[in-house]
Amino acid sequence: MTNEEAFRILTQEYTLKLATTQKDFQTVKAVRAEVFAPKYNMSPELLESKGYLFSKDDEQSFLFLLQHVPSGRYVGTVRNFFVNGKTPIRYMPMQKDGHVEGIEHLTQKLPIAEISRGALIQNLPIHDTFSALHLRTILTYGLMIATRINFILYPYERVFSIMELSMHHILKRQKVNFEQIGEAVDYYGMRTPFAIERIKLLNETEEPMGKITRHYLKALCEDPEPFWQFIDANPYLERSDIRLETICRLFEAYGEDVELSSLLGEEKEAALAPMAAL
């Protein structure tokens, strides 16, 4: 997969969006039900009762959807569960539900995020160029990019995830270099906990994922109101937590050539000085 192929598929044939409305949240539940019902051999009703389709954790999360543009069908979802100084749930799902222990020294400096509840349907639309397996790899990559967009907007300290080793290997091929932080546990099957510093993740994935990330950030700048309504309605977030206004100003000044360090605020004075004269 070339970067150009990934860009075309993930911006033209498929699109990523943040779930911001009740309709979007119902769509997240529907995608999860389609994926989890056969995977865990449970009915949608049983999944619902166990909180697999939607739970309190999701109210403390950014939820993302992946949509096939020609058909309008939603085919995937992923979430960034976050902990900050306002959130009522103080432990990540991997800790409180997966019983991952001994990582408290990594979770003290807030905010932090856990990537979880990734789901991609089995019966994807047939692609005229790529095999079903290749397409799944690209779309899994797309769900990771959705979380990356959020990591630029919201300055977490660390990012965590608990996953099967096969998924870890897929992500490593795309320069997502999570570091193992504990032994495997039986959590929806045997899964291993990983973590990475947010800045390290963003820097190392800039080459393969940066262009697509900027595409979606620019689109968000063009129509930010649904995003701000979501932030305003969330009791655990403030507009001041989010870097969107600064990012939009940088795009206005520099276009897509803006450096990642500027998007992250690492070159704040140098980046904003030219805009003061505009």
Of 1 and 100, more confident: 100
Quick check: is 168 in a domain? Answer: yes
Q: Residues in the chain, how many?
A: 278
Nearest to 49 by CA among 78, 29, 63: 29
The mean predicted confidence, pLDDT, of the chain is 93
For the entire predicted model, the pTM comes to 0.93
What is the arithmetic mean of pLDDT over 248-258? 92
Quick check: is 47 in a domain? Answer: yes
pLDDT of residue 3: 83
Quick check: is 277 in a domain? Answer: no
Of 188 and 43, more confident: 43
What is the arithmetic mean of pLDDT over 150-159? 97
What is the arithmetic mean of pLDDT over 201-221? 96
Quick check: is 268 in a domain? Answer: no
Cβ neighbors of 48 (< 8 A, separation 6 or more) are 29, 33, 54
pLDDT of residue 257: 86
Query: Before 111, cis peptide (omega within 30)?
Result: yes
The boundaries of the domain holding residue 211 are 3-242
Quick check: is 227 in a domain? Answer: yes
pLDDT (tens digit, 9 = 90+) per residue, 102-154?
999 999 999 999 999 999 999 999 999 999 999 999 999 999 999 999 999 99
- pLDDT above 60 for 90: yes
pLDDT (tens digit, 9 = 90+) per residue, 37-73?
999 999 999 999 999 999 999 999 999 999 999 999 9
> Could you tell me what percent of the chain has a pLDDT over 70?
95
Count of the separate structural domains present in the chain? 1
Quick check: is 262 in a domain? Answer: no
Beta bridge partners of 112: 83, 158
Quick check: is 272 in a domain? Answer: no
Q: How far is CA 199 from the centre of its chain?
A: 15
pLDDT of residue 106: 97
Q: What is the DSSP letter of 62?
A: E
pLDDT of residue 267: 59
Instruction: List the CATH number of the domain containing 40.
Output: 3.40.630.30
Quick check: is 237 in a domain? Answer: yes
